[in-house]
Structure 1
Amino acid sequence: MHSTLFQIIQRKQAFEFKRHGLSASMKDMEAKHHSIKSLKSYPEAGGRSLAAAAGGDGGGCYRVNAEVEMESKIQKAVEFKVEGNRCYKEKKFREAIGKYHRALLQLKGVLVVEGTTGSEVNLRSKTNTKLTEEQKRLIESTEIDCYDSLTACLLQSELVNYERVKEYCLKVLEKQGDNFKAMYRAGIAFYHLGDFDNALQYLKEAKIREPTDTNVLRYIQLTEMKMNKCNQREREPSKEVVG
């Protein structure tokens, strides 16, 4: 009987111990949860935010990833340009145009475009990542080469888009004002667009750099002939048609 009573007491004590132990564990968990919630809601009270407690603010990691992505885009742009040059040599002009455009698209993801907002903000503006001088030179030279090569491809087309040729030539001249090919091609574009004043201006600038270039001299002659004809028409008195 005594042994039976002793077993009952032991079971009751064990039950009480488990109940109180579980209650204590629940209280500890609630206290920890409250502490974490407080840190998340009021990081200044705990001294550090949860992100900091986890090992940093995350910005450094994002910045490193952005730098790697920027470098990758620059290298891809160079690769597309090289592929475009290969297509041009093989006289695959349409394919070459596509490659050059893809190269420029890669560079657009790196360069800071003024006035961009929202989804247009690029990698550099998101992270304040700065390009190295070497990267800047590589981007500029790749961009110039692509626009220069695009004009060469367009001039090989059956129906030349002279407006686009003019646009690309002016982009090159903005960055490289003494580029002979861009001057000459800009002169050709303006000539075929009927803007003879600008055509003559760019052709004469090209002549200064290459005085004996036969193509430049020929287009200067053609432009001056067109201008003379236009001037003669302006000087002729208007004649009334008698019915």
Structure 2
Amino acid sequence: METRESVGEGVEAAASQSTFSGQTSRKPTWTLLEEAVQMKTEGNAFYREKNLRSAIRRYHSALLILRGLDSDVMSSLKGLGPVAHPLSPEQETLLRNTQVDVFNNLAACLLQKENTNYARVQEYSLRVLQWQPHNVKALYRAGVATLELGDAQMAKRYLTQAFNEQPNDVNIKKYLQKAEERLNQELQKEKAMYRGMFSPSWRGRWRSGGVV
């Protein structure tokens, strides 16, 4: 099984290698896009076989290629590597759609792990939502991860959006209910705290200097 560092840092390491290797300048853009799609397809096959380690590696390989073609990424690294040629609208669409699929699939892989890195699941899901704000899978996984990270309010927002897109999805309903229950628990704790603060015994301690 992949370690936390290899899962999370593999993408960044891949991006760095892509920047300096110059491989993208030696192959036609369509060839590189087809290779990235092939890596994604192989990753999907490994995922269906529950071979998460190999699936993650294929997805990272796809991102390695795509990052070298992404004008947004390469413009921020101007002067550090080969200049990517502008993509046609069709190529740009394929690149973005493949990126969306790969980040979504990486998040799915991490959620299958015994010791889930919810911060990474959240990160990958939010990357998808930058490009596709109504992507149901990304909204759902962002909601699950955010809830596990302790922010029930934001989790409810993601899950409510996902529910509005797919109101019959059982998993979305389940986690939306969990988020609402968590918020209700937090509200009850807050109410109990304030009730305690304004009780006669508390006011007596405050007057005597027992509470600051």
TM-score bracket for the superposition, by shorter chain length: 0.7 to 0.9
State how many pairs are aligned. Answer: 173
Deviates more, 1:141-150 or 1:69-78: 69-78
Question: Where do 1:64-79 residues align within 5 Å?
Answer: 66=25, 68-79=27-38
Residue number in structure 1 paired with 2:89: 133
User: Counterpart amino acid of 2:189?
Assistant: R
Is the CA contact 2:33–2:95 (under 8 Å) kept in the aligned structure 1? yes
Q: 1:115 aligns to what?
A: 76
Q: How does 1:18-33 map to 2 (within 5 A)?
A: none
Q: Does 1:181 align with 2:137?
A: yes
RCO greater where, 1 or 2, for CA within 8 Å and sep 6 or more? 2
Counterpart residue identity of residue 118, structure 1: G
Paired residues for 1:52-63 under 5 Å: none
Q: 1:223 to 1:79 in 2, by over 3 A?
A: same
Unaligned runs of 5+ in 1: 1-64
- Give the TM-score normalised by the residue count of structure 2: 0.75
Q: Distance in 1 between matches of 2:52 and 2:27?
A: 32
Q: What is the CA distance between 1:228 and its match in structure 2?
A: 1.3
The equivalent of 2:39 in structure 1 is: 80
**Cα displacement string for residues 143-202 of structure 1 (whole angstroms, at most 9, x for unaligned residues):** 111011111111110011110001111111111121111111111011100011110001
What amino acid is aligned across from residue 77 of structure 2 in structure 1? Answer: T
Selected match of 1:202 from 152, 158, 163: 158
Counterpart in 2 of 1:105? 64
1:163 matched to 2:119? The reply is: yes
1:216 matches 2:177:
no
Structure-1-length-normalised TM-score: 0.66
| Whole-angstrom distance in 1 between the partners of 2:166 and 2:76 | 39
SS in 1 for 2:69: coil
Q: 1:151 aligns with which of 107, 112, 118?
A: 107
Query: 1:59 matched to which residue of 2?
Result: none
TM-superposed CA distance for 1:69, in Å, is: 4.1
Q: Which runs of 5+ in 2 are unaligned?
A: 1-23
Q: Give the conservation status (yes or no) of the 8 Å contact 2:40–2:59.
A: yes
Is contact 2:25-2:82 (8 Å) kept?
no
* Equivalent position amino acid for 1:216 in 2: I
